[in-house]
Chain A
Amino acid sequence: MSATAASPAAPAAPPARGESPTRRAIRRFVRHRLALAGFIVVLAFVLVAALAPWIAPYDPIATSWSRIRKPPSELFWFGTDENGRDVLSRMIWGARASLMAGVISVLGAVLLGVPVGLLAGLAGGWVDAVISRIADAMLSIPFLILAIALAAFLGPALENAMLAIAITASPVFVRLSRGMALDAKSTDWVEAARSLGNPPWRTAFVHVLPNIVPPLLVQSTLSIAEAIIAEASLSFLGLGQQPPAPSWGSMLNSAQRFLETAPWLAIAPGAAIFVVVLAFNLMGDGLRDALDPRADRR
């Protein structure tokens, strides 16, 4: 009787008694095939990005007049670009910019949005009103437009693009954590925590926060996918990674002039963005199912 052997017809293995919520979530996540696939793809991209200096076959910014826009070959698997640079090497280094932008900007959005959202939800009153209206105002502007405006204001650089994306992505976390905090505020266990003499900040961070981690985790994963697209878009517009350093977005930008003569220049970064974003989304969906407290009772 093992969890992995469960067939669709057979009832799922009963949850072991004494299993912690974290272990239960991991067990469910691993059983979710698509989510696991997404996780493996993400892991592969992270490894490639981390090992870029060792696995990239060529210098990603070394130009060569003798091999301009060569189609994929044995020597250059993904071909070469308009300056004779190896596309594969640029893809590998570009993965760093994309993944870093995705993870760091969402981390920033969480660090910014969650405390503010908890404050709004738990304090209530005018504090909540002011914070919520600002979040609503930011959410009423399309994601990319706001990110472009902020990035343009901050100046073109990868760091500024990340900051712009972090700020743009934070209202979602403000809203999410505010809603969850409101929910928690009326529970008996928050009342019990107060009756034990917990100061307000401790109630917020020690009691409420751990209970809202699951939805935050799901939202973060989905936000990373969004942030990767935003970074690619900003780089495409010249507001992100600056040449000659590679990024998938800026590679797409330069590829658009040669779409008919050298399509491989666009296919590689386009496909990479597609696959990574899809993988993050699958992972997020799987996490949501795995962390759903009602799933076992169905």
Chain B
Amino acid sequence: MSPPMLELTQVSVEFPTDRGRLRPVDGISFRVEAGKTLAVVGESGCGKSVTALAVMGLLPQGAEIGGGIRLDGEELLALTPDQRRARRGGAMAMVFQEPMTSLNPAFTAGEQVAEALRLHQGLAPDAAFARAVEMFARVRIPEPERRARNYPHQLSGGMRQRVMIAMALACRPRLLIADEPTTALDVTVQAQILALIDELKTESGTAVVLITHDLGVVADHADEVVVMYAGRVAERAPAASLFARPQHPYTIGLLGAAPRLEGGVARLASIEGTVPDLLHPPPGCRFAPRCPFALDRCAQQPPLAAILPGHDVACWRAPLDTLLEAAA
């Protein structure tokens, strides 16, 4: 078996702040194979985007990253800043959440796609622009010749996100990170953009990390899912397995799944409480204060353990579905 395209081992990110050390990401591990999509889900502030920025090397100054991030077998954290910069946009690329503001208003859309090619493949301006027009066609932008000469303000949101994808994929990256690529778009455009990413992924064998909080998107487009809660992995499973047999109380809450246990139903459908303050995280399992199944033992962090082949969960009470069945 070839090594995974992207492998994170015990990655943590720390920011020194005035009020103490903040750890938005605390020991995350996952792997993505070439040509597969891994979805990272969780609510706002759970560390999804910070993880993505850590992989890209775009964290603000002062952030401290621990653990290991390997891209196609190469340890990224051991590279110099210049070497990491050379990987960005070339070997790995990112699509951002806000297509309305992610393009530079002073340049035409085509020039911005061409820039990636000039930076990483050393193409001359004319050749790069011609390739950019080809990329416009590949991401299904109608009239690519004309659209490439448009400024961002002349393009719709969906069109701009297509431009961002063209920019990201121009240099055939081995890894594409899409940080909530469709959150700002309307529903019909969402489906088109995600289908486009799927198609390009299959075509070029790119590994995709799809960051989202939309579980419908996960069900339709992800091969594997990592559920994050307060900077840690709560559950990690193939998409089908996760939806069929969610094991972590948080995942169950997220799915809004109605377990067959009578009393707990209402409480599970909406998760009580709020995300913990990461400056003073609760000891042990971070979900315990909100968890209807919490035990005394939850004051210690449960290990991420396999309860099914390839299905890992960090909960003392897992497998939870058998527990629920037993109680029914």
Contacts and interface: CB of A to CB of B under 8 A. Distances in A.
Contact of A192 (B61, B82, B151, B164): B164
A20 interface: yes
Given A17-B154, A18-B154, A197-B120, A192 B102 contact: yes
Interface string B93-110: 110111001111111000
Interface of B: 56, 58, 61, 82, 85-90, 93-94, 96-98, 101-107, 115-116, 119-120, 146, 149-151, 154, 164, 167
A242 interface: no
Given A17-B154, A18-B154, A195-B56, A189 B90 contact: no
A188 B86 contact: no
B88 A199 contact: no
Nearest to A196: B89
A28 to B, nearest CB: 16
Contact of A196 (B97, B107, B167): B167
A191 interface: yes
The 7 closest A-B pairs by CB, nearest first: A196-B89, A197-B89, A197-B88, A210-B106, A188-B102, A188-B101, A189-B104
A244 interface: no
Contacts of B119: 196-198
A56 B243 CA distance: 89
B106 to A, nearest CB: 4
10 contacts: A21-B151, A188-B97, A189-B101, A194-B88, A196-B167, A197-B85, A197-B89, A197-B116, A199-B85, A207-B104
Contacts of B97: 188
Contact of A211 (B93, B106, B149, B164): B106
Given A17-B154, A20-B151, A21-B151, A192 B167 contact: yes
Contact of A197 (B61, B86, B107, B154): B86
A196 B101 contact: no
Contact of B94 (A20, A21, A189, A195): A195
Given A17-B154, A21-B151, A191-B58, A196 B116 contact: yes
A18 B150 contact: yes
A211 B61 CA distance: 24
A165 to B, nearest CB: 30
A187 B101 contact: yes
Nearest to B100: A188
Contacts of A104: none
A21 B152 CA distance: 11
A92 to B, nearest CB: 40
A41 B115 CA distance: 41
Contact of B96 (A17, A18, A125, A188): A188
Nearest to A207: B104
Nearest to B115: A196
Contacts of B101: 187-189
A144 interface: no
A16 to B, nearest CB: 11
Given A17-B154, A195-B58, 15 more contacts: A21-B106, A187-B101, A188-B97, A189-B102, A191-B102, A192-B96, A195-B93, A196-B88, A196-B116, A196-B167, A197-B85, A197-B88, A197-B89, A197-B90, A207-B106
Give the residue among B103, B104, B115, B151 with the most A Cβ atoms within 10 A.
B104
Give the residue among A18, A187, A189, A193 with the most B Cβ atoms within 10 A.
A189
A210 B107 contact: yes
B142 to A, nearest CB: 15
Nearest to A184: B104
B88 A195 contact: yes
Contacts of B103: 189, 192
Interface in A196-232: 196-199, 207, 210-211, 213
A197 B98 contact: no
Contacts of B107: 210
B120 A189 contact: no
Contacts of A210: 104, 106-107
A187 B98 CA distance: 10
Give the residue among A124, A196, A207 with the most B Cβ atoms within 10 A.
A196
Contacts of A211: 104-106
A10 B94 CA distance: 46
A198 to B, nearest CB: 7
A175 B112 CA distance: 28
Contacts of A194: 58, 88
